[in-house]
Structures are given as C-alpha cells and as structure tokens.
C-alpha cells in the first residue's frame, strides 16, 4: 500500500526546468505582496573538488545548512537527490565533477506587488520602470519573481536580454533588448564608456549645493553582501588597495533641511557604488539600512536583502496559505496548492525567514543616454520634497 502511494506521488509530480515559462496563474497577490505558487524544480550543480570524498548526505548537510540532516537522508532515499541521474544510497561517496541533482518543492521569495510598467516598446528594444524588490533576471532563489519572468507571464514578451542591471531593491529605468545582436550593441557602447547614466537618491541631511565628485575605490565583500571604500593611505604600509577604481558625480536637486534629493552620475559601475559613495560623503540614502552610518556595525535582519534574511531561522514564518486573501482585481482567491510532505517550507507560501518588512531603496534610475539614443523614466513619489 505504501509503495502504491509512493508511486502515485511520483506520477503526480510535474518537474519544471528553466525551459518552463512563467504563467499568469503562477502568481498570487495578497496584502501588497506578489507571491509565486510553489512548484517542483530540479536544481543542478557539479561536484566541486572539496566535495569529493564526502557522502552525498554529509555533502548536503554541510554545504546547504538551510534544511535538517534528516531531510537530506529522506531526500536521498526517495530519489529527490540524485548523482549523474541515478538514485544512490545514503552512503554514496561523491566524486569530482559529478552532476548532482536536487529535486524539490521550490518556494520563491516574495516581492512587492508593484506593476512592471512598460515605458517604451520598439521592435528590438523594450524599456520598463522596474519596481523595487524585484530582481532583473533569474538569480539565486528567484526565477519567476523577476522582471523578465513577470514580463513573460503578463505580456508574453520573450526572449528579453537586459543590457544593464539594477540592484534588487533599486527601482527605475531598465533597458531590455529583444534580440541578442541588439543586446551586444548596447553592451559594447556601455563597455566603451559611451553611455551616460543618471540616478536620483533621497539622502540624509543637506547635501552640498555644488557638484561633488567622489573618486575612491570600492571593495565589494560578497560574503557580507556590502561594499566599502578605500582611499590612499587607508591601508598599512605600502600594501596595494584591494578595491576597484570608482567615480561618481553628485548634484543636489532640492532639499527640505532634513533630506536632499541628489542626482547621481556613476562614471564607473561597481557593486553598490552609488550607495557606498553617498555614505562616504556623509549623506547616505535615507532608508538604506545597509549603509546608514549608525547601522553599519550593528545591522539587524530588518532592512537586509531577502536573500540574507532567509538564513535567519528565528524570523516568524509567513501566514498559512489558507488565510483569506485581500480584495484585489488581480488577486486569485483560490490559492490552495498541493502540500508536499517532504517539503521543509510547506504549508507556508514563502520560504522561512521572509517576514514582509522589506521596502525599496530611495534610489531610482532615471536616464540612460548613448551616442544616438536616450531613454528616461519618471521620478518616483519619494523624490518630491
């Protein structure tokens, strides 16, 4: 009887791959948040040298600590973790370069339920106003809850090739090519320095009236998920600076005495460059919990990226899926989905660790201009002071 139930479970599961396009019915809207219905997905990686010699269960328990050891034991036994396409015993020892597959019930992180507004559409170019909290393209735990995924699901626009990126919490102009050749053309212009970019930010304090140019190295720490600046003489002895050269020009647009709206022109394109350069001037973005000076040393989970917050198991889980939805013309009131008994996130809609307290940064891309083209995006509401 148990064997029949196991076989029925395997037959009912439809595994998705990146080739499965997002659909409108994949999304659930509730309380201003866009969720993705959990779905079955195959994660693929190839065994790194440091994984060699470990049992398949120990490998997952040590490298992917988000789930308990017992889960990985049951997943291997059930064939949800495979090596080179084969079911293996829990004692199986992994070898370098082997294909490791993890079939699981995927719960994507939620994002704010803001429209991806199409600004300009041509045969080979599309520009949109990217909402804050939504990543540009599939990355990490995000696949359908991305600008590219939403445009495909809601407007049937594919393929799309983003020609630049905006941080997930940043809003504003996003340019997408509709052909690979057009994308290459755009990127060549960007790489050759022929493209000018303009952002606006709302910062703490009264920003200086005259143009300010910050020309200091930026060093990004991927483990910490943040950047720092380095200036000559900031390191001991004659040790070379580790950061990359970075330059940003700032011009005050307006101020109310407490905050200022500042135009930001990044000459280079380093990770978090505008954010850390504004911190360096003493005028960090007013709601940037990662770079507000008084918060840098004692950062809480509040204000961190959702990706990092997911690792904080002490955060409360999302409300149960079967709670009542808000009235929303886009809202799907039938939000039940099949509960996976092996899933460590079910019956919640979002992964553990996402508490809905995230907000967009007061940083917005307003303009990109090349040799013979210009695209712009309207200012956001917070820019009026």
34, 98, 376 from 146: Cα distances, Å: 11, 30, 21
C-alpha span between 90 and 141 (Å, rounded):
26
C-alpha span between 59 and 95 (Å, rounded):
11
72, 121, 160, 255, 281 from 210: Cα distances, Å: 59, 37, 40, 13, 13
Both structure tokens of 147: 């600008």
Max CA separation in the chain (angstroms): 78
Supply the angle between the helices 56-63 and 69-77 in degrees, to the nearest 10.
Answer: 140
Q: DSSP alpha helices (H): ranges in 218-337?
A: 273-281, 306-309
Q: Which long-range contacts (CB under 8 A, 24 or more apart) does 332-338 make?
A: 332/25, 332/27, 332/28, 332/29, 335/28, 335/30, 335/37, 337/37, 337/38, 338/12
Both structure tokens of 22: 């997002």
| Residue position matching structure tokens 């990044």 | 266
Both structure tokens of 18: 């990146």
Instruction: List the Cα angle 266/270/273 in 5-degree steps.
Output: 60
Residues 120, 162, 361, 359: is their CA dihedral positive or negative?
positive
> Quick check: 329 and 34 in contact, CB under 8 A?
no
Both structure tokens of 371: 């040799």
Residue positions annotated with a catalytic role:
167
């Amino acid at each position: 009887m148990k064997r029949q139930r196991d076989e029925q479970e395997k037959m009912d599961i439809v595994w998705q791959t990146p080739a499965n396009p997002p659909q409108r019915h994949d999304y659930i809207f509730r309380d201003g948040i866009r969720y993705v219905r959990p779905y079955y997905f195959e994660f693929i990686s190839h065994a790194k040298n440091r994984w060699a010699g470990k049992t398949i269960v120990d490998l997952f328990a040590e490298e992917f600590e988000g789930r308990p050891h017992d889960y990985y034991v049951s997943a291997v036994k059930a064939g949800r973790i495979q090596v080179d396409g084969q079911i293996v015993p829990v004692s199986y020892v992994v070898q370098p370069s082997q294909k490791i597959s993890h079939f699981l019930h995927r719960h994507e992180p939620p994002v704010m339920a803001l429209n991806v507004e199409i600004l300009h559409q041509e045969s080979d170019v599309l520009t949109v106003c990217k909402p804050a909290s939504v990543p540009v393209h599939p990355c990490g735990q995000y696949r359908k809850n991305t600008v590219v995924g939403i445009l495909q699901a809601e407007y049937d626009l594919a393929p799309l090739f983003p020609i630049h990126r905006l941080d997930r919490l940043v809003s504003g102009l996003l340019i997408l090519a509709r052909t690979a050749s057009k994308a290459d053309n755009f990127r060549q212009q960007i790489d050759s320095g022929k493209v000018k970019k303009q952002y606006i930010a709302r910062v703490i304090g009264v920003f200086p009236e005259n143009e300010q140019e910050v020309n200091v190295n930026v060093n990004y720490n991927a483990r910490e998920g943040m950047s720092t600046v380095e200036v000559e003489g900031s390191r001991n002895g004659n040790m070379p600076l580790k950061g990359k050269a970075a330059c940003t020009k700032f011009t005050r647009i307006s101020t109310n005495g407490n905050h200022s709206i500042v135009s930001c022109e990044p000459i280079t394109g380093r990770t978090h460059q505008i954010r850390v350069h504004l911190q360096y001037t003493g005028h960090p973005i007013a709601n940037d919990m990662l770079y507000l000076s008084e918060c840098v040393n004692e950062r809480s989970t509040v204000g961190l990226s959702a990706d990092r917050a997911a690792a904080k198991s002490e955060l409360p889980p999302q409300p149960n899926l079967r709670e009542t939805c808000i009235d929303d013309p886009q809202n799907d009131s039938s939000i039940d989905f099949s509960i996976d008994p092996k899933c460590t996130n079910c019956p919640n809609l979002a992964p553990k660790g996402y508490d809905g307290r995230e907000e967009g940064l007061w940083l917005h891309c307003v303009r990109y201009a090349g040799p013979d083209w210009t695209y712009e995006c309207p200012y956001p509401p917070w820019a009026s002071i």
